[in-house]
Amino acid sequence: MSTPSYPSAADVLATVPKQLYIAGSWSDAAGGRTMPVDDPATGEVLCEVADAAPADGQRALAAAEDAQEKWAATAPRARSEILRRAYELIMERADALAALMTAEMGKPLAEARGEAAYAAEFFRWFSEEAVRIEGGYATLPDGRNRMLLMRRPVGPCLLVTPWNFPLAMGTRKIGPAIAAGCTMVLKPAPQTPLSSLALAGILAEAGLPAGVLNVVTTSRAGEVVEPLLTGGHVRKLSFTGSTEVGRTLLAQCAPAVVRTSMELGGNAPFIVFEDADLDTAVEGAMTAKMRNMGEACTAANRFFVHSSVAAEFADRLARRMGALDVGPGSRPGVEVGPLIDRAGRTKVEELVADAVARGAEVLVGGSTPEGPGCFYPPTVLTGVSPASRLMETEIFGPVAAVLTFDDEDEVVATANSTEWGLVGYVFTQDLNRSLRVSERLEVGMVGLNTGLVSNPAAPFGGVKQSGLGREGGRVGIDEFLEYKYVAMPV
């Protein structure tokens, strides 16, 4: 395999539009207002992009409404082929898109390139689902009536995406919306708007009609989003982000009864039983903890390791994490980039300090380096008190907190003692235990002897306060479709 040839951040930035994308055209925000996009590796401003006002959001929604009827009537095969062309364009430009993500978000180039491929796969997957939207025909129990069942697009959607996977979270929402025949307004995170703007350009090039996708970048999310949700014209909200913000958006959706799907926070348990293959468990821990510098809702947050193997597991994990190369994501060989911003790093610093104050031992890391950027070293803590704040808070950083257990019932109960329920990880070679614990964990997804659960072909989502609905898989398109029943007497 050839080594990727990544363009410079400056070269890529020069090719990305910095305006709002509404009704198929690029335009300035109302009043010409802009907002900065920072490089988390240096703290310097990369560029300025349009900073939308509430009026811009209304303009984008009006464009989506105007395009909805015609788009819904577009042949499924035509929608499918647009997605397929967009998939191919993303793959062709994966190196450039990786450089863009690394510049605005900080992740290492190799990981960013992996995200580009992951993001593209959602378009390929939903290009295949677009032509498989089915209805039904049945004789009703009285024998005198027939039932026609059809699937219809829900209508204009508002898609709100996070900063941690700026390209993939866009395609995971846009793909099924396009496939189902929905128009949309996309509001990306203010920290990482460039990937979404580049994606809008790719979809336009792939043939997506004007008004089907509209992109509104803004630093004033509350002012822009709330009137869209309460105005009665958005029919669907898809949100990925924190549980706290998700609760606020659910309340804003209530007056107009907006349909919602929400992928919210996580507090993933990572359980290593005494019979686990420790090589596999440590490798899984590296994936589950260090993917995206730990800035992922699926990141392993609480490591529960059987007391008989805890010391060896922690030692191995500390050696692996301590050997990782930390630095700017654009530098060759770097494996851990900066956290997204100073606030994110401060949160991690405070959580580690709290754990140490409660008796935790730092095996590796644990101190903030001097110099520019938002870097924090990979950190392993042992002897962590269950009362530590990081046991009940999404860490969103490269910190592994190790606790011990001796009993299966005990660890399952502890793992479930949280308001969240997105994902859990289980490592054991006992088949019966694998199934038993997987069933008992109160989560939407389980990584069984693996640290990676994300796959476009699988339904992604959680239970409890980790969200509503599912993205990806065969069911992902269902979130953007309504059932319509037609009664026919015969």
Give the residue numbers annotated as catalytic, written as ranges.
263
Tokens of 175: 């793909």
Place of tokens 């996977």: 165
Q: Using N-to-C axis directions, what is the helix angle for 109-129 and 94-105, rounded to 10°?
A: 120
Provide the residue type at 404 as one letter: T
Tokens of 105: 């978000």
Any alpha helices (H) in 18-165, and if so which ranges? 54-72, 76-92, 94-105, 109-129
Strand partners, 405: 306
Place of tokens 């349009």: 50
What distance in Å separates the CA atoms of residue 56 and residue 62, rounded to the nearest whole number? 10
Place of tokens 């992922």: 296
Strands 300-306 and 361-364 turn out to be: unpaired
What distance in Å separates the CA atoms of residue 363 and residue 315, rounded to the nearest whole number? 8
Q: What are phi and psi of 426, to 5 degrees?
A: -130, 130
Pick the closest to residue 411 from 428, 397, 394 (CA basis).
428
Helix (H, G, I), strand (E, B) or coil at 132: helix
What distance in Å separates the CA atoms of residue 253 and residue 96, rounded to the nearest whole number? 37
Q: How far is the CA of 30 from the CAs of 55, 56, 197, 422, in angstroms?
A: 7, 7, 18, 39
What distance in Å separates the CA atoms of residue 161 and residue 251, rounded to the nearest whole number? 18
